[in-house]
Amino acid sequence: MLSKQLMKTSQTQQYEQIAKALKFLEANFKTQPSLEQIANHLNTSQFHFQRLFSDWAGVSPKKFLQFLNINYAKQILRNEHQTLFNTAFELGLSSTSRLHDLFINIEGMTPAEYKNEGENLSIYFHFEECIFGQYLIGATQKGICFLMFNESKNEALTELRLQFPKANFIQKQIPIHQTAALVLNNKNLANQPLSLHLKGTDFQIKVWEALLKIPEGNFTTYGKLAQNIENANASRAVGTAIGSNPIAFIIPCHRVIQSTGKFGQYRWGSERKAAILGWEAAKQFVHYNGLQNDAVI
């Protein structure tokens, strides 16, 4: 159970503190800052930060940093034919991916819907918070069509309207919004698949489908993803399609990194990308080792 101090803090405020800590760690990576130094940077106590971070990630800040370091090193050390993605696939680890297990069904828009920019289409939208901050979600009767992390509600809503200029927008929470919220907050969703209603070209949808097959807690590269869709020379086009992904987290474009091992940019912030990847890696570690709580280190 969260402490009284944490309960008074919204999820977005908690994430903002986590993001600030991650930025500090990235800037001071070589010195491996202590818990005291991180807490001082956040103007909080060591105990509060330890509790905040552990409640958010499920492990201590030190252990979390180790996950990032280890995964980064593995990606660099693997040669072209022995990527983490291939290794995970050969070991059958794809079955451990929550979203992959749920088998999210992608239903593309018809050519007519794509051409008329959403005319006669009703989109229900809702603002919500999760462990990675504030987000805007939009959905039709067919499925989720938009999910964007944001710091400004107005900017997020403007982005949604630009995606579907002629659609009818209704601010109302519907059941699929609630299901997505559970996914974004690490709740058990066995036998509750999410349907997606995507507006995109055939190539974009093919790339987004490939993203759904990347196991949780694992990475692939732009080049490898291009090979997986049988278009090895399309790394740049794949990168563009990934950058156009309209549904954050659920379509896991955050799991694609640079061939050098660097996490690279992310449409919703590089710090948020690092946070999500580290959180997923930590969760997998806890799952495989049967840990309930990580000891304070």
The catalytic residues are 253
| Helix or strand holding residue 19 (H, E) | helix 11-27
Interior/surface letters 104-131, b for 16+ CB within 10 angstroms, e for the rest: bebebbeeebeebebeebebbbbebbbb
CB 209 within 8 A of CB 104: no
> What distance in Å separates the CA atoms of residue 91 and residue 27, rounded to the nearest whole number?
35
Q: Which two tokens mark 99?
A: 């979203």
Amino acid (one-letter) located at 218: N
Neighbours of 260 (CB within 10 A): 10
> What distance in Å separates the CA atoms of residue 40 and residue 165, rounded to the nearest whole number?
47
Write the DSSP assignment of 170-223 as a string of letters: EE---HHHHHHHHHHTT---TT-PPEEEE---HHHHHHHHHHTTSPTT--EEHH
66: left (phi over 0), alpha (psi -120 to 50) or beta: alpha
> What distance in Å separates the CA atoms of residue 93 and residue 97, rounded to the nearest whole number?
8
> What distance in Å separates the CA atoms of residue 60 and residue 62, rounded to the nearest whole number?
5
